Chain A
Amino acid sequence: MRRRFFMTAVITGAFLLLIALSAGTAAPVTIQYGYWGDQNEEISTTALLKTFMDKNPNIKVEGLRFGSNSEFNDKITTLAASGNLPDVSTFYEPNVLTWGMNGQFVDLTDFYKKAAPKLDTIKFVTPDGKIVGISVANEIMVIWYSKTIFDAAKLPYPPAEASKAWTWNQFVDVAKKLTKDANGKTPNDAGFDKDNIKTFGYWGQQWWMPWLTFAVSNGGGMVSQDGKKLMMADPATIDAIQKMADVINVHHVSPVPGSQQMPGAIGTALLSGQVAMALDGTWDLLTLGTTKEQQGLDFGVGVLPYMKKLATTSVGTPEVVYKSTKHLNESLALLGFLMDPASSLPLLQNGIWLPNEKQWYTNKDLLQKWIGNPRHPPEYKTAVVDFALNYSNRLPLYYVPSFAKMDDVIEAALGQVWLGQKSAADVIKNEIMPKITPIFQGK
């Protein structure tokens, strides 16, 4: 009996000692970082997180990958409902402001006051002035073009400097000269067969970024920069959209909008001569660069044409910190690391991202770090870097919470305009405005 008591006491004592010892050492804090992407992005993000963990030994980061931004949407909603949100994550842009206004994100205004200045065009600001996220990259719209097609037509390349930018009409003229039907005729020739076009002058898209960019270029827009006035029915906006639709249906230099475009299609389209130019985002450099290296595509980049004033717009997914995080300081440390362009240098160098900080556009040494490689064409500095710095505009995505709901209505209704069935004035005034006005006013 005594022996048993003695053994129990020893074991209990050893046990308690063990607990006391382990409590003495600090356990590392674990935080979760959510992001979406394919396998390649998983590899690069995991490497990024490892670099962070090497620099911060007391913070452990678990990467939580979602398959795509739409999958992100389902899952983050479910995680919110079950109370299992990550600590930091990228976020589906159209919902950033609604989530921010519902108190889901940490107010990062003070955090960013202490960091290096970020570009103003990519800050997500709620109507009461809180910064809930800043885009981790700055993507603008440019002209990508096939040098091969321009050489064959003996035409000068699209300008790579803002001072030499084409007007919209000059741009359409060039597109007309490059559009060829099955018999080699252009829209300027008699007997042009618009149903049998082999090469299109340019390929545009019809989501909100392109038409908003040209609306701004024409002096219009969707919502005024102070967030107070709906500008969708301004004559300048209507005119811009009509011009973009006429390119398809009147001038026949652009294809009828196919539904959802496939990723990577721009490389194939330029290489196979389906289109001579494409108005698309700077993220395409990754695809185009790869197509050049693997299949010999000879491409170039130029500044956008302008309607009344030089303009482009910016997009980029933000990094947000969830209010539900239990480790705010560690999360902010991760945020600072991710938002620093120096951390994502590989992504800047492979062409998919542009930096979010002004100094990376102006400081020669920093510039050399990310555009001084064969992936970036020589004209990239003037056509993209300078153009982004001087002429980019902030999209309503960043300051209008009802943007997504309004765009549901707009995208659907404008479909008729792109197909040439109705005029932009008719659709915008009679179908769009009555529906988006109550949404904008928050009813």
Chain B
Amino acid sequence: MRTRKFHAEAREATSGFLFALPVILGLLVWVIAPMIGVLLISLTDWNVLKTPNWVGISNYVKLFTTDLYFWNTLKVTFYYVVLNTACATLYSLIVAMLLNQKIRGRGIYRSIFYLPTIVPIVASSALWLWLFNPDFGLFNVMLRGIGLHKSLWLSSQTTVVPSIVLMSVWGGAGNAIVIFLAALQGVPRELLEAVEIDGGNWWHRFRAIMLPMISPVTFFNVVTGLINSFAIFTQSYVMTNGGPNNSSLFYVLLLYREGFQRNNLGGAAALSWVLIVIVSILSLLIFRTSRRWIYYEGEQR
């Protein structure tokens, strides 16, 4: 029966829908539609220069069987992702804990640690290239100064990924630090004091109270860190071009090269979708295993 209440509810529902419409449209037009478009391209042999032909899943098959770079790229990217996420999470947690203390000039220190995040990556890549120079760069000068052997940094297959991780952690940890800081400040004071009264030191405080209390935030930083690490591109594009010997040929760099320099858009599109699947599976795994170690306040365990 069309009561006044029904009309009012219907009007509310309609206006709610209308308010949400821009976001929904945006998602459809700028995210969903291109993703479907890329999927369709990946099923063709399009190279921009001639009309595309349907080739079914042959681009995907080629990737996994005959492609010269795919498996190496996966290996190298995974290595970077794991190393970078671990180092970045550890680093930002430690720095956040240090910045959480009541020291003078706390605000200045916090700004300093956040600054690297706003330096443009291309500019800082140019600078770090000089720092890493095996013969004249500052890092090797410092190493020599304290009596250590010089490192080849970006010029050696074994040290190139750790070098890029060093640079990424310096430049990208700012956001994670801020978020960890907020979480640390949300830890209830009385719990920490309870540990002190019971005779525990800072390690007990950390392990028994702080770590569990910030575990949801740790989880967030790990997941976003992982997803962002997969997108590593600029540093290898500007500094190493995938070398030496493809040991820094990261996934997105390969994708870019295939699509825009070798005009193999079908193959590049296939690479994109494989990446989507990999990152989705990884995120799913982390979500599944998260219940074991994340503690949400108020839960009974």
Contacts and interface: CB of A to CB of B under 8 A. Distances in A.
A259 B259 CA distance: 23
A404 B257 CA distance: 11
Interface of A is mostly: helix
Given A104-B49, A415-B243, A415-B244, A260 B260 contact: no
B254 to A, nearest CB: 10
B241 A74 contact: no
Question: Which among A103, A259, A274, A415 has the highest number of chain B CB atoms within 10 Å?
Answer: A259
Interface size, B (range)? 35 or more
A259 B167 CA distance: 15
Interface in B223-274: 238-246, 249, 257, 259-263, 265
Given A95-B263, A195-B149, A416-B245, A260 B48 contact: no
A179 to B, nearest CB: 12
Interface string B149-190: 110101111000000000000000000000000000000000
Nearest to B69: A408
B262 A256 contact: no
A77 B48 contact: yes
Interface stretch (B17-25, B92-100, B131-139): B131-139
Interface residues of A, number: 38
A436 B258 CA distance: 17
A183 B155 CA distance: 25
B154 A405 contact: no
A419 B156 contact: yes
A200 interface: yes
A73 interface: yes
A117 to B, nearest CB: 31
Contacts of B155: 256-259, 419
A81 B152 CA distance: 42
A409 B48 contact: no
B241 A415 contact: no
A435 B68 contact: yes
A255 B135 contact: yes
Interface string B121-157: 0000010011011111000000010000110101111
Contact of B246 (A404, A405, A412): A412
B58 interface: no
B288 interface: no
Contact of A259 (B47, B129, B144): B129
Query: Which 9 pairs between the two chains have the least Cβ-Cβ distance?
Result: A415-B244, A102-B49, A415-B245, A259-B240, A412-B246, A259-B154, A80-B48, A74-B260, A255-B135
Interface of A: 70, 73-74, 77, 80-81, 92, 94-95, 98-99, 102-104, 195-197, 200, 255-260, 262, 274, 404-405, 408-409, 411-413, 415-416, 418-419, 435
16 contacts: A70-B261, A77-B48, A80-B48, A95-B263, A98-B49, A99-B263, A102-B47, A197-B135, A256-B134, A256-B155, A257-B244, A258-B133, A258-B155, A259-B154, A260-B240, A416-B245
